[in-house]
Structure 1
Amino acid sequence: MYELLVVGGGPAGLSAALNARRRDKGVLLATKETISSKLRPAGRIENYPGLPGVSGPELAERFREHAAAVGVEIRQEEILSIQPGESGFFVIGKNEGYEAAAVILATGAPQKASIPGEARLAGRGVSYCATCDGMFFRDKDVMVISQLPAGEEEAAFLAGICRKVYYLPEYKGEYRLPPGVELVSGKVLRLEGDEQLERVVTSESEYRVAGVFLERAGLPPEQLCPGLAMADDAIQVDRRMATNIPG
Structure 2
Amino acid sequence: MFLKYKNNWLLFNQKKPCVLCRQTTENPDAICSGCAADLPWLTLCCNRCALPLNSTPEHPTLCPDCLKKPPPFTQIIAPFEYRFPIDQMILQAKFNNRSYLLPPLAYLLADKLKQSMTEHSRIPDLIVAVPLHPSRLLERQYNQSAILAKIVAQQLNIPLSNNLLIKQNKTPHQASLDHKTRQKNLKDSFRCLSTPPTSVAIIDDVVTTAATATEISRLLLRKGCQNVDVWAIARTGKELFF
Structure whose residues are more often helix by fraction: 2
**Which has the bigger relative contact order, CA under 8 A and spacing at least 6?**
2
Normalized per residue, which structure has more strand?
Answer: 1
Give 1 or 2 for the bigger CA radius of gyration.
1
Name the TM-score, length of structure 2 as normaliser.
0.27
TM-score by length of 1: 0.27
